[in-house]
Amino acid sequence: MTEFNDFHRPFRGNDLEWRIQRSGKTSKGSLWAIIVPYLTSRAVMDRLDEVVGGGRWQDTYDVIDKGFICHLMVQCGDHWISKSDGAPETNIENIKGGISDSFKRAAVKWGMGRDLYQCPTIYAEFVERNHPGAQYLKIDNVTYYWAVPQDADEKIPVSPLYKKNHRSIEP
């Protein structure tokens, strides 16, 4: 169904969270941190509700050795189509985190957030502790504060599948 093309619509702003992928200091002592965007589970749920309706999708989980498989099913006519993916338990809130990660990974198989995997290198801005949205990072037992650059959303490429099927590429 063509309605599923809307799963490829870009996520931006509050639908994304950012984490540090790698960080360190240069040989001259300058700090650097590469950040990457990821979807929130709520953004995926909202997109599913918006595109197919709250009663036309469901998720179930299998527990595997220290992880979870999410089966994300969408109703298409009289049939349910399922796409699945898994994730391990996480270090923080291990069960909740593993379930959430497997859900988001299954959503990628439906096309949601796939453009995030094509994101170019984006560097964090190091800021003062009281900066809005500041997060902390420890390097060599020293705490630094970082924020997502204001233009980060603009740097994320739009999925070619979305461009192909839509005239407007606005999120």
Token pair in block for residue 118: 């094509």
- Is residue 16 in some structural domain? yes
Query: Is 85 inside any structural domain?
Result: yes
Residue 171 domain-assigned (yes or no): no
Checking if the pLDDT of 111 tops 70, the result is: yes
pTM of the model: 0.85
User: What is the extent of the structural domain holding 36?
Assistant: 2-165
- Total domain count for the chain? 1
pLDDT at residue 140, rounded to an integer: 85
- 153 domain residue, yes or no: yes
Question: Above 80 in pLDDT, residue 59?
Answer: yes
Does residue 49 lie within any of the structural domains? Answer: yes
User: Where are the strands (E) in 77-154, listed by range?
Assistant: 79-88, 122-123, 125-127, 135-139, 142-147
- In this structure, is residue 99 part of a structural domain? yes
Summarize pLDDT for 144-160 with one digit per residue, the tens: 999 999 999 999 988 77
Tell me whether residue 170 is in a domain. no
Residues 6 or more apart whose Cβ sits within 8 Å of residue 168:
none
- Looking at every residue in the chain, the average pLDDT score rounds to 91
